[in-house]
Amino acid sequence: LHNEERAENSLSAFKAAVDAGFGIELDVRLSKDRKLVVFHDDTLDRVCGVNGKVVDFTADELAKLSLNGTGEGVPTLKEVLAVVDGKVPLIIEVKENTGDSAVSAAVDKELLTYKGAFVLESFNPLTVARVSKSFPEVCCGFLAQHFTKEEKHKGKFLFFALENLLFNRVCNPSFIAYHHEHHYMPMLRLVRLLGARTVAWTVRSKEEELAAYEHGFDTIIFENYIPAQMGK
């Protein structure tokens, strides 16, 4: 529930969601000193107005930056978990590049003693496979979209495979989170017919919400508005 006063991935936005009784989607990645911090982008320029990557700054340095000029810094996952404290469920997106397992390893350690409800998700199918093994009783989802619609991804087999969910047998996801505007993808429709639960991301209005349900999604990941309904 971030807005002009509450920056995205800020403690105040998370507290607002908790107070409203909404589950929270958040993104985790590692800082320079290998602590899990909650931040969406790989770089700091869009949200903090600072040049550089998150991984080039320590957690303490990130905490001193200002999210969208609000004066709030980048929180650690530990701080967010303390605010949520099991009051609402979490969707934790693990930001991890191919060939790296450090983030998922840190997530495993951080969540080992957390008592609240959570699910995990990632765009990286190998990450999904890793966290599924660490948390066999937790739903772990695969994130995707129509990647090859973008010029930079056209003709690249990896992105063709990702958008067509060809790694499902590798990561065996509990759910598929797909860009709500790309509902037309044939493989998305096929896995839904085969029984997969599908989640629309990121919905930003009641009109988009209605369209997502009309296109067959089971529930939504939303921001900046109060949804009319939460799942079917």
The rounded distance, in Å, linking the Cα atoms of 158 and 186 is 17
A 10 A CB-CB count for 231 gives: 11
Structure tokens at 56: 């080039």
Task: Summarize pLDDT for 177-219 with one digit per residue, the tens.
Answer: 999 999 999 999 999 999 999 999 999 999 999 999 999 999 9
Sign of the four-CA dihedral 230, 208, 168, 81: negative
Q: Which residue has the tokens 């191919």?
A: 98
CB 192 within 8 A of CB 213: no
Give the confidence band of 228 by pLDDT, cuts at 50, 70, 90. Answer: confident
| pLDDT above 90 for 229 | no
Task: Summarize pLDDT for 138-185 with one digit per residue, the tens.
Answer: 999 999 999 999 999 999 999 999 999 999 999 999 999 999 999 999
| pLDDT above 60 for 231 | no
Classify residue 116 by its DSSP letter.
S
Task: Summarize pLDDT for 23-38 with one digit per residue, the tens.
Answer: 999 999 999 999 999 9
